[in-house]
Structure 1
Amino acid sequence: MDATLRRFSLFYFAYYAALGAYTPYVGRWVDALGHGGYVVGGMLGLWYGTRILGPPAWAALSSRSTRPGEWFFAGCVLSLALFAGFVFTTSAWALLTVMALFGLFYNAVMPQFEAMTLTALGSRPERYGRLRVWGSVGFLLVAGSYGALLDVTGATRFPWLVLPLFVLLVAAAWPHRHDSPPPPDPNAMADAGHLWKRPGVRRFLLVAMLMQLGFGPFYVFFTLHLQAHGHAGAEIGALWAIGVIIEIALFWQAPKLIARFGAAPLLQLCIAVTAVRWAVVAFFADSLAVMAIAQAGHALSFAMFHACCMRLMADFFPGHRAAAGQSLLYGISGGVGGVLGAVMAAVAWESPGGGTAAFAAGAAACGLAFAIHAKNSS
């Protein structure tokens, strides 16, 4: 890999390394501060909510600038500065306020960077996977090690342990301050609105949203659920690592599998496996071996499901309409589905059933997605 592209790999590594600390362990930190499931769910709900608002607002501002790369760098600096606010906050409302501001900028910079990456690759888009995989490596290393680190330092030290990762993020963003993404397509949203009416699109987006909703308990309470069932931080970190390792492995094989079996049948399999996975996590969390097997299901629940979605999106939103389709998928699945999943998980967590109820609800959401997709395929 040449030096020009190596700097893109470094930013992916830094960005997802920070995410590898935040996603698995922010709930453990908030819980250690003495807050309940509603605050934990609110933190993750705001995380997904800002994914709806942040990227389009930031894109509108940076697209008007003659130096969009400097806007990108500024977004990374603001992400660092706002995350530092967690060091000084302990009350629920202060945490949620900092989360809302931090999420707006941290979620905004990656879509801009993705566009910058594709511009840099030019006629070699097939090399994207070799750059993006370093993001998964960064997530793997941090998610796999920070559970044990928090065991040693105490969960309340979480913000101090994550701050160096955001310093690395800013350092990795510095070489890109003069890069520029391609100009936005002014007809993107008009295309999205038109293609929304195409046969199969709304049903597909509903299935994707329900799958993301089903992931709500996993992203919000998986660490706390395992902790409640007696697993140590090192074991929890290892379980997160298993999921990412197998995710990386299957991403490399996904194109061959889709070419052989087809995206729609594989998508149906992924949904079924995910429903079973959450049911297993709900009722067998005491067993480390069973949880390891459940985490191996991440290969289908996340990696193959995502690859199949991208293949189907290419059919639903061909050519120059791809950007419009991605905006719909990002907003409806990752945004709306993420917010609803966090809310559902928090309500279930605070019920008498606790983690069992939360993951059973996730399994039910995926079961509904399975039924909707099966009806569409019949």
Structure 2
Amino acid sequence: MSPAVRPATLMALQYVLLFAASGVTLPFAGLWMRAQGLTGAQIGVLLAAPMLGRLVTGPTLAVWADGFKTRRAPIAILGAVMAAGYAGAGVADSYPGWALGWFVGATAAAALIPLSDVLTLRLAARHGFTFSLPRGAGSTAFVVANLVMGALLLRAPVDAVIVWSVIAALAIVGVATFVLPDERVTDGPPVLGRERFRGLGRLLVDPVFMIAIFAVGAVQAAHAFQYGFSAILWQTQGISAATTGQLWAFGVVVEIALMWLVEPWRRRVGIGPWSLLVIGCVASILRWSAMAMAPPLWALWPLQGLHALTFAATFLAGVQLVERLSPPDGHTAAQTLGSVLSAGVLIGLATMVSGPLYDQFGAGGYWAMAALSGLGLIAALILRPGLRRRGLRLLGDGAGGPDAAPSPEPQP
């Protein structure tokens, strides 16, 4: 086995377990909560609380994680917390218990994503594999877990959602403890807590860094209306639930294709992450503008295909920009800040306004998502001079160069 294959395979296993869990909790959490007798309003609070709470929990956990000697240690601990939280929700018999357990489990699960991304990026830099390959394995696991749980729930009680999530979390603990590479956070001693908080503060006042994560976050958050109301809108158009599922699956399939097939080619020909971000912004404006016109079924297929650009391309651009704009001992905090903004605050706010937009305008609510994508494009254009001043070669200026992985840190 080549030196690059083994760490890439190990990180693919980590993503498979992580997204095997979210592939069940994301689509089926509401179903489990409804079975507990919760109202729609209560379910909304339970689902939204961890998302909005990431404004505080995300940076706090990132600073905490950067204090360990190795990157796999906090992953193992958070996996255990995730298992305990979901298990606690499963055995609770009242709303406060369900709320607390779900908040703890979902918060830990969300924090595991940027921590895994940081570890993968460092290993990719050291061993020369492409970040998108193991990350694409996670997307595949998401689809498979969704389909398997859907079939399982035809025969098993809805508590299978909790059991599955706890088992996946415990598997993450085992993999992080015994399998993941022993990558150090820094080559020196761990940074003290006060210094880590100062590093986080420096990122927050860095205009280039903040513009970068806003640009990415705006395009990611523009998916909120699609996530919440596409199925309802398609149903009013006479599109069956089966076809709706196929449309969603198609979007994920093209996302995986971009990560596994197009992304290595992009890096070879030298299309930098800033250029990839701009492409994602433009595709997002086009996609949501077209969706606002309630297009017929035949047009929905290519529009769903744009998910490869609106989601996957901007995600890949984001992790590479953030990784290069932050110091080595602050990578976890930086990736978490990006995740908090895009997968927490911005999409949380966009989700909150999507309901009133749907009630008032129907498919016309997509126009607001197109406008949000336009803000992302403006931010990306403003970002360009700052990247040039940093001299990070992230714009796209030659094969193999603009977004090549950063130089590996010296071996400890």
Q: Same fold (TM over 0.5)?
A: yes
How far apart, CA to CA, are the structure 1 residues paired with 2:147 and 2:14? 19
| Contiguous gaps of at least 5 residues in structure 2 | 386-412
Secondary structure of 1:13's counterpart equals helix
The reply to whether residue 275 of structure 1 matches residue 275 of structure 2 is no
Q: Is residue 12–residue 132 contact of structure 1 (8 Å, CA) maintained in 2?
A: yes
Distance 1:302 1:149, change over 3 A: same
Q: Is residue 89–residue 99 contact of structure 2 (8 Å, CA) maintained in 1?
A: no
Distance 1:219 1:250, change over 3 A: same
| Contiguous gaps of at least 5 residues in structure 1 | none
Report the AA paired with residue 143 of structure 2: L
Q: Is residue 92–residue 98 contact of structure 2 (8 Å, CA) maintained in 1?
A: yes
- Counterpart of 1:364 in structure 2 is 371
Report the AA paired with residue 312 of structure 1: L
- Counterpart of 1:11 in structure 2 is 14
Q: CA deviation at 1:288?
A: 3.9
Q: Is residue 24–residue 219 contact of structure 1 (8 Å, CA) maintained in 2?
A: no
Trace 1:146-295 onto structure 2 (pairs within 5 A).
Answer: 146=149, 152=154, 158-161=158-161, 163-178=163-178, 182-183=184-185, 185-186=191-192, 187-194=195-202, 196-198=204-206, 200-227=208-235, 229-252=237-260, 253-254=262-263, 256-257=265-266, 259-284=269-294, 287-295=296-304
Residues 222-251 of structure 1, C-alpha deviations (whole Å, 9 max, x = no match): 445545655444433322221222112212
Trace 1:1-378 onto structure 2 (pairs within 5 A).
Answer: 6-27=9-30, 35-36=39-40, 41-58=44-61, 72-84=75-87, 87=90, 96-114=99-117, 123-126=126-129, 128-144=131-147, 146=149, 152=154, 158-161=158-161, 163-178=163-178, 182-183=184-185, 185-186=191-192, 187-194=195-202, 196-198=204-206, 200-227=208-235, 229-252=237-260, 253-254=262-263, 256-257=265-266, 259-284=269-294, 287-313=296-322, 316-317=325-326, 322-349=331-358, 351-353=359-361, 356=363, 358-374=365-381
Q: Is residue 214–residue 363 contact of structure 1 (8 Å, CA) maintained in 2?
A: yes
Secondary structure of 2:129's counterpart equals helix
Report the AA paired with residue 376 of structure 2: A
How far apart, CA to CA, are the structure 2 residues paired with 1:288 and 1:53? 41
How far apart, CA to CA, are the structure 2 residues paired with 1:116 and 1:372? 28
Residues 69-102 of structure 1, C-alpha deviations (whole Å, 9 max, x = no match): 6764453344234334555779877654443222
How far apart, CA to CA, are the structure 1 residues paired with 2:158 and 2:105? 16
Greater mean deviation of Cα atoms: 267-276 or 127-136: 127-136
Under a length normalisation based on structure 1, what TM-score does the superposition of the two structures give?
A: 0.76
Q: Is residue 65–residue 332 contact of structure 2 (8 Å, CA) maintained in 1?
A: no
Greater mean deviation of Cα atoms: 163-172 or 11-20: 163-172
Greater mean deviation of Cα atoms: 84-93 or 356-365: 84-93
Report the AA paired with residue 325 of structure 2: F
Distance 1:329 1:113, change over 3 A: closer
Under a length normalisation based on structure 2, what TM-score does the superposition of the two structures give?
A: 0.71
Q: Is residue 70–residue 184 contact of structure 2 (8 Å, CA) maintained in 1?
A: no
How far apart, CA to CA, are the structure 2 residues paired with 1:67 and 1:263? 28
Distance 1:263 1:62, change over 3 A: closer
Distance 1:368 1:128, change over 3 A: closer
When you count helix as a share of all residues, which structure comes out higher?
Answer: 1
